[in-house]
């Protein structure tokens, strides 16, 4: 598979890892949009939100647990943070491996569609 995030998880492409367990891998975004910008990805390849099924949906709950843990460790839990995922090209998804952005460390603009 020619997936950027699968290669990062496999260690084929370097990353600034901030967390790893048997299910997820989290690393600093190379183009941060906030002082804290971490990507949290499932180790098993899922293309997008559209690929979430009854068989693999537990990983999403775990990702949110990891996001809360990292927010505390990275010092953004008290002031607030955002967890975002994009689904499809029109939504801004550029890597087609399900991933969640953990953003914080400053006041984030509220943008409504």
Task: Tell me the C-alpha to C-alpha distance, in Å, between residue 90 and each of 39, 86, 87, 93.
Answer: 20, 9, 8, 7
Coil, strand or helix: which one is 33?
Answer: coil
Asked about 97 being catalytic, the answer comes back as: no
Q: List the catalytic residue out of 37, 45, 97, 99.
A: 99
Other Cβ atoms less than 10 A from the Cβ of 19: the count is 16
Write the burial class of residue 9 (CB in 10 Å: 0-12 exposed, 13-18 middle, 19+ buried).
buried
Task: Catalogue the active-site residues.
Answer: 99
């Amino acid at each position: 598979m020619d997936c950027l995030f699968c290669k990062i998880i496999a260690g084929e492409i370097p990353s600034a890892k901030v967390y790893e367990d048997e299910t997820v891998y989290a690393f600093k975004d190379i183009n941060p949009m906030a002082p804290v910008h971490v990507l949290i990805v499932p180790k098993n390849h899922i293309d997008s939100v559209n690929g979430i099924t009854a068989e693999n949906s537990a990983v999403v709950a775990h990702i949110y647990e990891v996001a809360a843990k990292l927010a505390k460790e990275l010092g953004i839990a008290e002031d607030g943070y955002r967890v975002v995922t994009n689904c499809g090209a029109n939504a801004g998804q550029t890597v087609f491996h399900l991933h969640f952005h953990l953003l914080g460390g400053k006041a984030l603009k509220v943008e409504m569609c």
